Each structure stands twice: as structure tokens, then as C-alpha cells.
Amino acid sequence: MNILLLGTKQTSDNHEDYYLDYVKFFEVAGSYADTQLQVEYCMLEELFFTIGDGDFHIVNTRSQKDIKDYDFVMIRGSIRAFIEEAKVVSMYLQLHNKAVVNDYSNFRSSSKLVQALQFQVNGLPVATTVLLNAATQGQLDKLPFSYPCIMKATYGSHGNNNYLVESSEMVQQHLRENPDLKFVLQRFVPNDGDYRILVIDDDTLVIKRSAIAGSHLNNTSQGGSADVVELDSLPAAIHEQAREIVKYLGMSIAGVDVLYDPKSGEFSFLEVNAQPQLMSGAFVQKKAEMFGRYLKKLNTR
């Protein structure tokens, strides 16, 4: 099975080492796929696109191979600045009936504001979210929820630029300190941790993450702890809703984050991460097993 991993130089200061580590992850996953994998990687910046006059080709300039000649292509890394390229790659591979993860042909914004909307329109519970724009700044004492609340960058990740704010003065302070970022405010949901539902095709893994003392951030990248828990730790309805939103977004692999409020007994969806940690973070071996089962399924189609 010939695999192409597509990334970007922006993903890491040492992007070559980053993607070489992913090649190793694929090798581990291959042992669970009962198939031999040949893995190459290339940056989106290194693809040669030809479109028009009846011609449409995308070539990996590292190997001089057309990307349609690979059995499986995975787009992985910091691609926000390369959505246009990811979309064209996804559409090209679809035309040639080749598997691509994740599929960006119908890309939907990953902003926290748009994700709140996607949960809302799909009937999934989500805490009230307010865009922190000029209009909101003029009425920070008239929010539809009380302080403390969560203030987070619309395109934040790994818990970065995510604050628990106690007052309108704290909101204004963070705005002054981050003049180039957009934020949303969100009702704070009391919790003793959150749940990451890792979805790989039809397979799921549930990881409970808990913040360190003095922090509201459950992310392992922010020092939080993580434990694999039984699937029935979450209601069947939450699993179903997680799979539904992943399908709605056209993803094959995603991390769906859910909060549980022990006081009210209610769940709230936080976000869907199109780039969940696989070869890093917690429980890499279990993730490799899941990924291997996915590759085996693709290889037998």
C-alpha cells in the first residue's frame, strides 16, 4: 500500500523530523493492517498543480509521481494558510477514487464561532457563545451569561490563548495583550475534566482529560492528565452525536471534545478537531491500532 503524507513547512520548525516521526507511526500502524506500507511525505508547497485545457494533474516534485498514483493520501499539519491547495488536492483524489484523509473538498471553517453554529444547527448541545467584536465590547456587562466565562481565540488550539475571565476588565486586558487575534466568549461549564472522543472511521476511543490544579485547561498539551475510559462512560446518544457531526463535516479522522457538568448532568460539545494528536500525546499505541484497522479496511475495498 503506497501512502503519501502531505504536510506544510509551517507545521514545525523541524518539519522534516516531524513528518519522519509520522512515517514511523505509519510503520507501527501497518503492523495492525496486515499489509506492507510504503510511506512518502511531501509538503503542500512542493506540489506542482496543472489545471486547464483539458489537463488536470498534481505532481509530488520530490518523487515526480502524480499523487493519484498513491493508494492513500493523508493531509496533516498546520494547513490553515493552505486550505486552497488542500481543497484542490481533495477534489483531484476524489475524481480518481482515491482515499484522502481528511477530505477538504467541502471545507468548513474551524473557527470556534462557526463550530458553535455547526453544533447548534445539528441539534447538539453547545454552551452559549458570543463573538467578541466591537459591538460586544460595548456591552461586556450585558452578556447572556455571567462571569466567570471562557475567552478563547477563534482559531486557538492546544489550549493556547484560552482564558478563564472573571470580569469585563480582564476581557479588555487580554484584548490589549493580543491585538492581532479574534476571540469568542463562552459560558463557563463547571467540570472535572473533558472527554476526547477520537473517531477513526467507524472506530472510537474515549479519553478523559483532567486539568492540573489551578488551571481550567484540560488539554494534555497544557499539562493535563489523560486516561482511556470505557466507551460506556459516555451515553450512547453522545457517541451517536459525535459520529454524526464528524460525518456532517466530511471527516474520516477527528477528535470530538465534550464537557460534562456534574451539577446539571448535562453535556456540552466544545469542538471538532480535524488534526487530533496521533503520533504524539496520550495512548499512541492504541491510536496506531485504530489507524491500522482503518488502513486494512481501505486496502480490502
Residues 86 and 143 grouped into a single domain: no
pLDDT in tens, 193-243: 899 999 999 899 999 998 888 888 777 777 778 899 999 999 999 999 999
Domain count, the chain: 3
Last residue of a domain, one of 157, 187, 217: 187
CB 58 within 8 A of CB 89: yes
> For position 49, what pLDDT does the model report?
96
Q: Return the percentage of the chain with pLDDT > 90, whole number.
A: 71
**Domain presence at residue 206:** yes
CATH number of the domain encompassing residue 63:
3.40.50.20
CATH number of the domain encompassing residue 256:
3.30.470.20
Angle at 22 between CA 9 and CA 107, to 5 degrees: 60
Sheet holding 65-66, edge to edge: 47-52, 55-60, 65-66
**Domain presence at residue 243:** yes
pLDDT in tens, 86-145: 999 999 999 999 989 888 888 877 899 999 999 999 999 999 999 999 999 999 999 999
Please name which of 117, 124, 116 lies closest in space to residue 266, comparing C-alpha atoms. Answer: 124
C-alpha cell at 50: 496543472
**Domain presence at residue 117:** no
Domain that includes residue 157, residue range: 128-187
- Residue 128 and residue 137: Cα distance in Å, rounded? 17
Please name which of 1, 9, 46 lies closest in space to residue 27, comparing C-alpha atoms. Answer: 1
CB 49 within 8 A of CB 87: no
- Residue 248 and residue 263: Cα distance in Å, rounded? 30
Residues 234 and 249 grouped into a single domain: yes
Residues 171 and 199 grouped into a single domain: no
pLDDT in tens, 130-179: 999 999 999 999 999 999 999 999 998 888 899 999 999 999 999 999 99
Sheet holding 266-273, edge to edge: 225-229, 203-210, 194-200, 253-261, 266-273
pTM of the model as a whole? 0.86
Q: Is 218 exposed, middle or buried (0-12, 13-18, 19+ CB in 10 A)?
A: buried
CATH number of the domain encompassing residue 182:
3.30.1490.20
> For position 80, what pLDDT does the model report?
87
